């Protein structure tokens, strides 16, 4: 019995030797779905990076000074240290959050197209969905889905931690 885990409709790892009938017409759609997952994962990773930068900016009193290795080229051109102000990091986070909305919509669109092509209802379980995907592509899709779940968990923890820091700062 497979344990359900994760929030991307569950978790599915194919059984050895089980390969649904391969449909070559499904391959391009599956590839597009996997590409949408990849882009969404990269979007969440970029958001996580921006949130970390935002947190460092906040901890440094509203501006972030870069390390010497990061500013070598910049200092040569401007003879000063670059600073990213807190309002700018907030803007970047908002822009990335909007971009993620579009990426998620794209992934959901390809998911719906693939489910229709595989003759699955929109409410079919993740296990049923994955059982219709050829084995050689199941691992890739499952790994991307789990990586997205993991990155989303990190983003949520970062947002929660940053929110707590802001509340503490306002109380002092």
Rounded CA-CA distance 158/96 in Å is 15
How far is CA 118 from its chain centroid?
25
Of the candidates 57, 85, 52, the one whose C-alpha atom is nearest the C-alpha of residue 159 is 52
Confidence at 79, pLDDT banded by 50, 70, 90: very low
Tell whether 17 is covered by a domain.
no
Q: How many domains does the structure of the chain reveal?
A: 1
pLDDT in tens, 13-63: 545 444 444 567 788 999 999 999 999 999 999 999 888 888 877 777 655
> Is the sign of the CA dihedral 31, 36, 41, 45 positive or negative?
positive
Q: Which domain holds residue 71?
A: 44-171
What pTM was computed for the model? 0.70
Domain membership of residue 160 (yes or no) is: yes
Residue 71 confidence (pLDDT):
39
């Amino acid at each position: 019995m497979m344990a359900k885990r994760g929030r991307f409709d569950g978790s599915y790892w194919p059984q050895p030797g089980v390969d649904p009938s391969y449909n070559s017409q499904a391959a391009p759609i599956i590839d597009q779905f996997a590409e949408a997952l990849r882009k969404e994962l990269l979007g969440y990773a970029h958001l996580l990076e921006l949130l970390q930068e935002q947190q460092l900016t906040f901890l440094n009193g509203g501006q972030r000074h870069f390390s010497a290795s990061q500013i070598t080229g910049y200092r040569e051109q401007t003879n000063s240290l670059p600073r990213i102000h807190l309002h700018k990091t907030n803007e970047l986070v908002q822009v990335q959050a909007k971009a993620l909305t579009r990426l998620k919509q794209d992934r959901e669109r390809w998911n719906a197209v693939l489910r229709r092509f595989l003759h699955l209802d929109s409410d079919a379980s993740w296990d049923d969905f994955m059982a219709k995907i050829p084995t050689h592509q199941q691992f890739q899709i499952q790994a991307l889905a789990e990586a997205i779940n993991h990155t989303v968990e990190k983003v949520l923890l970062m947002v929660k931690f940053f929110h707590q820091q802001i509340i503490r700062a306002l109380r002092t």
